[in-house]
Chain A
Amino acid sequence: MGAYIVRRLLQAVPTVLGVALLTFLLFDAFGADPVRTALGNHATPEAMANLRHQWGLDQSLPLQFVDFLRQIVTFDYGRSFVTGEDLGTQIKAGALVSLSVTVPPFVFGGIVNVALALFIARHRDGIVDRASRVLFIAAMSVSALVYVLALQYLLAFKLDWFPINGYEGGWAAVKYLGLPWLIQLLLLMGPDIRLYRTLFLADINADYVRTARSKGAGEARVLFRHVLPNAWIPIITQNVTTIPFLILGSFLMERFFSIPGIGNLTIAALSRGDLPILKAVTVLGALALVLFNLLNDLLYAFADPRVRLS
């Protein structure tokens, strides 16, 4: 196991190098000049040269790239161009806020949707199954933005159950997060239940389930002792690889409800040409994805003895 982890980590090195190169090319080599964005069109050449020097952009591109690699390895992403703040602090704070937006609906929705999918799969082709299939396809044909708009209008503007938008730190955040949580729960239902239903159906029709039934196992025993343990594996796969996206937060929710998470940080940085933030978020997002993919493979091997770690 240890050797496998080490080898997988080594295999990730060229991937991370590629991500660094792609990020650097898109932002530093091809992107708009951040000095121009910061100072506007009427800046004097001296002012521009000064700022360029201050931000280290007067070095050659290869040197800047080496410096970027150093940042990645040391996890020291320097300071924001615009605010001068330390990026580590900013990103950590943003990530915590993003997690508070996305984790509760992810956990709660996960449990509820697995239960609902199990019920639907158990009563395959029944009235609930057929109705929900049509309903989900229809529901997923409407843009997520429309649900956000309509629910904000109904629950916050008309019924006044939630604040329209905004955010406060600490426990007061719950008041503002209620509506984004509810919307995400609803948005997750369609895709999740459809996926879990397919997974459960693959197992419900399997030979071993027929064997269990023919040995006289009751319905509950078949579902919870036979189907569920097998279907867990793809469910774990699905959910572990989603975790990096939870840290990234939901860009749409954060933007819509003015919640200061990673999504809002990134969008604001984009309009200001704040390259250090953009590059740091991109690389950290990719690192998280690579790590959780590795973790996922390990869990997979752990949960399914047939998967040999070769």
Chain B
Amino acid sequence: MEHVKPRSAAAEALRALWARPHIRACLIVVVLYLLIAVAGYFHLLPDADAALGGSQDPPSWHLATLLGTDILGRSVLWRVIAGAQTAVTIGLATTVLAVPFGTALGLAAGYFGGWLDAVINWVYSVVVSVPDILLITAISYAMGKGLSSMCVAIAATSWVGIMRLVRGEVLKHKDSDYVLAARSLGAGSRRIMFSEILPNVVHVAIVTSSLVLLASVKAEVILTYLGLGIQDGASWGLLITGASQDLTNDIWGPLVGTVTAMFLLIYSLSAIGDALRDVLDPRVA
């Protein structure tokens, strides 16, 4: 008799994604960026702050100066790669702040209803009423400018959408037969919420995660340009902002390098996000 191994939903989804060559390439790109970030934290990346040559050397066929050097003689390529580490950090930090928070509140509001639902919806209505850019401005004033306050600010504008989606899904599921069955077997609230309902609504949170991730990487560039984001160090926002001056001197290295690096990550994340929605949402499939 053939033995059938039980497979988890996550493994199933990953297998389905891997089966598409286009998405497979995108997954590899994202994993590469993750590796770059991890390598950066273990100090395995080349030093982006070291002066390697003269000020604004043109590109050459050495890897370090493939995109030339910046005004302080630092390798533009190393700075783009260090910027990738910053981008991945921002993306992950924002997602880790916003998605569990939004999911937990959506689950609680949908499942318990009553005054808890009213309070959570009030907070929701307050936060969505403030235009995103103004909420981000206010948070950066309260917390000071910089990477961590920017992540909190972007997360503060992102959790509301997730909360609303998860709440809606929970409302659909909470009176369904399988929940009734679990309840009649004596399952408590905690068990029903986390073991029964959560696995059936978590796809909403996962699909949204990929969107939050890419939105926060894009937001960093704009916020940093506006002076609300990264203040120093290596980031794609700072590189593109600096490129504004470089263009008038016919220096293209920083802009081309950053746009390419960013394009690969954002494109891969949006393709994976679209594919995840197809794979995870039972109604689409």
Contacts and interface: CB of A to CB of B under 8 A. Distances in A.
Interface of A: 14-16, 18-19, 21-23, 25-27, 30-32, 137-138, 140-146, 149-150, 153, 157, 244-245, 248, 251-252, 255-256, 263, 266-267, 270-271, 273, 278, 281-282, 285-286, 289-290
Contacts of A256: 225
Nearest to B263: A141
Interface in B233-269: 236-237, 240-241, 243-244, 247-248, 255, 259, 262-263, 266-267
A18 B142 contact: no
A202 B236 CA distance: 38
B247 to A, nearest CB: 5
B125 interface: yes
B240 A145 contact: yes
B6 interface: no
A143 B247 contact: no
Query: Ordered nearest first, which 4 A-B pairs have the shortest CB separation?
Result: A18-B126, A141-B266, A30-B142, A141-B267
Interface in B95-133: 122-123, 125-131, 133
A285 B134 contact: yes
Interface of B: 122-123, 125-131, 133-135, 137-144, 218, 221-222, 225-228, 236-237, 240-241, 243-244, 247-248, 255, 259, 262-263, 266-267, 270-271
A19 B129 contact: yes
A15 B142 contact: no
Contact of B247 (A25, A157, A290): A157
A85 B127 CA distance: 30
Contacts of B248: 153, 157
Contact of A143 (B129, B221, B244): B221
Given A141-B267, A143-B218, A286-B131, A267 B125 contact: no
A142 B226 contact: no
Nearest to B244: A149
Contacts of A15: 122, 125-126, 129
B126 A248 contact: no
Contacts of A145: 221-222, 225, 237, 240-241
A16 to B, nearest CB: 8
A270 B131 contact: no
Most buried by B among A145, A245, A289: A145
A267 B262 contact: no
B218 A251 contact: no
A137 B131 contact: no
A286 B129 contact: yes
A144 B259 CA distance: 11
Contacts of A245: 131
Contact of B225 (A14, A248, A252, A273): A252
Main secondary structure of the interface of A (DSSP, over half): helix
B263 A282 contact: no
A19 B259 contact: no
Given A149-B240, A270-B140, A286-B134, 14 more contacts: A15-B129, A23-B130, A26-B141, A26-B142, A137-B271, A138-B267, A142-B262, A144-B218, A144-B222, A145-B221, A145-B225, A153-B247, A255-B225, A285-B131
Given A30-B142, A32-B141, A289 B129 contact: yes
Nearest to A157: B248
Contact of A23 (B138, B237, B247): B138
A22 B255 contact: no
Contacts of B262: 141-143
B137 A270 contact: yes
Contacts of A244: 131
Given A15-B122, A19-B130, A289-B131, A255 B226 contact: yes
A253 to B, nearest CB: 11
A189 to B, nearest CB: 16
Nearest to B131: A285
Contacts of B139: 26
Most buried by B among A21, A23, A270: A270
B129 A278 contact: no
Most buried by A among B222, B226, B237: B226
A278 B141 contact: yes
A15 B149 CA distance: 25
B226 A267 contact: yes
B29 to A, nearest CB: 12
B51 to A, nearest CB: 26
Contacts of B263: 138, 141-142
Contacts of B255: 146, 149-150
Contacts of A251: 133, 222, 226
Nearest to B269: A141
Contact of A22 (B130, B237, B241): B130
6 contacts: A19-B126, A143-B221, A145-B241, A251-B222, A267-B226, A267-B227
Nearest to B118: A14
B122 A18 contact: yes
Contacts of B141: 26-27, 31-32, 270, 273, 278
Contacts of B237: 145
